[in-house]
A and B are shown apart, each in its own frame.
Chain A
Amino acid sequence: MPVWIDPDLCNGCHGSRQPPCLRMCPGDLIVKDQTANKAYLKYPEDCWDCLPCVKVCPEEAIEFHLSYQFGAKGAKLIPHVHRTNDTITWELIDIHGAKETFTVPTKLIPVAIDEKIEEAEQAIDFSI
């Protein structure tokens, strides 16, 4: 599974119906279970590994994994977004446990915790 939402860390962005992870996925792959108040990746086979979901999660609840076919478990790459100073610090841990960090400049555009979408509230539930 390319990205994995840790249910222990996801707080569902409180009552958000359209939390950032769900909105920023270009493939519409993440859904939120409103009853459990947790988001999850519904279509892992369609994930592009592009990481907006990981970067926008305020709780850092989304782990970035490689598809297992590409390499050993254990290595980690974690982006820490510094919302105050326009940088991202990437924490890289290789399979031997060696750690390295990279701080890269960027331009951070704040992402709201929810977004009202016209008609979304009365959305028809087609799911089976």
Chain B
Amino acid sequence: MAEQKVIHTDILIIGGGTAGCMAAVEAKERSPKSSVTILEKAHVDRSGCLAGGMNAINAYINKGETVDRFVDYVRSDACGLIREDLVRTMAELFEYGVKRVEKWGLPILCDEKGDYIPRGRWNIKINGESLKPILARAARSAGAQIYNWIVVTNLLMDQDRVVGAVGFSLRSGALYVVQAKATIVATGGAAGLYRPNNVGDASHKTWYSPYNTGAGFAMGIRAGAEMTSFEMRYVALRTKDTIAPTGTIALGVSAPQINAKGERFMATRYADIGGDGAPTPYRTYGPLMEMKEGRGPVYLDTRGLSAEQTRALRAAYLDMYPSMVLYWAANGIDPAKVPIEVQTTEPYIVGGHCQSGYWVDVNRKTTLEGLYAAGDVSGGAPYKFVSGCWAEGVMAARAALDGMAQSPLPHVPESQIRLEEERAFAPLKRHLRHGVTPPDLEARLQKIMEQYAGGASTYYEMNEEMLGIARTHLAQLPTECEYLVASDLHQLMKAHEVIDRVDVAQVLVEHLSFRKETRWPSYQTRVDYPKRDDANWLKFVNSRRDKSGTIEMFTRPY
């Protein structure tokens, strides 16, 4: 038996990232007497998506704009389908979150009048290199108990109610059993489901954090939570090789996309849906089709920028994606002279850009009693970004405080803890000479997803037959997980990352198969149902895995 640490807390937050830190502060400020505990798999100072920093807040109601117009914009950007209640409530709290983080020390760029400087319609510019340490410090000063390097592996259940979580310490190997009156899951989205674009020592050079591996989705799936819209995957348009966000160029210096012939193809071929301002999936799909049809590579046309503009562009990347700047220097690229080549990424599941995640009510309560979700792990509200994650952290904290007051004391059978302990440490205890290592299983999973579930090499396209093969192959993997071996605690974490991704991938394939239309080209290109079909499919595709492991699919009305 591993050493065991038992913690009792009022509110447990799983994942001390963007949403998690904000939830901790909100809970402590609203209810100073309540105990708030964060379990974080890395160190809160630099964990998750914000590790490298940020250079913009991508969702904000700028002067002259309104929440209504934001909701309209997000609806059209998501091709007609969103949870308006969720998008509206988050937008109403953008300012609340942003002002607090500014107070905690984040430099936000202002003009002479003291107004934030917009970058595009809904964004504002920041010097956010230290955004994550700023949030972590706020959570710490607010009095949250933070446990770093705890890899959470499962939720604790009292019948159908969530009453905490279990994890292990990456440092000591101790088992952490945290019993809570209310639990907030904030583990971010999932990278690593598909084969990465880059190889070798760059195989983790993905856009989304490679350390967010869908743990929160997987825990929920195993506990029977309802999930929504996994089929709205996120395939990002990013700079070639470095996979840096393109908004810095496209919005920062208004560079249009051009193909190899210099043609502004978005303006010509996609004029009817907004040209260069088309919904985000089309801004991935457009360039993809140029490449598929032999008119690639595709570029962002930065030629003719002034020396001052190129310098500002590089400075902006230093705040978020320094490798872009080094890449230009190493390849002798001057963005003022040559256009910047772009490519598309491996698909991710990210509830903050798209809307895949937990099905929640307007207060961010999941379908499981006692469990709330915030940030990229929560579904239904695309265009969330950092400010929306903060807003959801705030809402989840408020709802958790309310819910906690009414909840009875949890009862967790000892047998459940022992079972989870066994499951959590099993890969360490297997002494198989021919066991499966985490990288082996990851490669198997990624190969299946890449080739049959709409990976980059098939231009993200799929049909029923391909998805059927993916389903069959994936069905083997849960048993294969029983051969997983880990030589140390770091490898044990890697083992759980792949176990979690297998659970997520199975649900994802069912979602992709269920939606018989193409609503979000490139995110979800069904070649056998190539058209958007509002008459039949303007609704949410949801799922729930039952105790036997069967994934039940159903729809919810818009």
Question: Which A residues are closer than 8 A to B by beta carbons?
Answer: 1-2, 23-28, 42-52, 55, 64, 66-77, 79, 86, 88, 90, 92-96, 100, 102, 104-109, 111, 117-120, 122-124, 126-128
Contact = CB atoms under 8 A, between A and B. Distances in A.
Interface stretch (B201-209, B259-267, B276-284, B468-476): B201-209
Q: Which 7 A-B pairs have the closest CB atoms?
A: A71-B330, A119-B172, A50-B52, A75-B330, A109-B133, A107-B105, A67-B202
A24 B201 contact: no
11 contacts: A2-B205, A28-B490, A45-B203, A46-B204, A48-B51, A64-B326, A70-B241, A70-B331, A76-B326, A96-B332, A124-B173
Contact of B129 (A25, A106, A124): A106
A19 B557 CA distance: 52
A42 B83 CA distance: 44
Contacts of B106: 107
Given A45-B204, A48-B205, A119-B174, 20 more contacts: A2-B201, A24-B45, A26-B43, A26-B51, A28-B149, A28-B490, A45-B200, A48-B209, A48-B211, A52-B52, A69-B202, A71-B331, A75-B330, A88-B318, A90-B318, A95-B331, A96-B332, A100-B311, A107-B107, A127-B488
Nearest to A117: B171
Given A66-B330, A127-B487, A118 B105 contact: no
A54 to B, nearest CB: 9
B1 to A, nearest CB: 13
Given A104-B319, A124-B173, A90 B130 contact: no
Q: Which of B47, B198, B210, B330 has the most chain A CB atoms inside 10 A of its CB?
A: B330
B48 interface: yes
A118 B45 CA distance: 17
Interface of B: 3, 5, 42-43, 45-48, 51-52, 105-107, 127, 129-130, 133-134, 136-137, 147-149, 169-174, 198-206, 209-211, 241-242, 311, 314-315, 318-319, 322-323, 325-332, 428, 487-490, 493
B331 A64 contact: no
Given A47-B201, A69-B202, A90-B325, A104 B172 contact: no
Contact of B199 (A69, A93, A107): A69
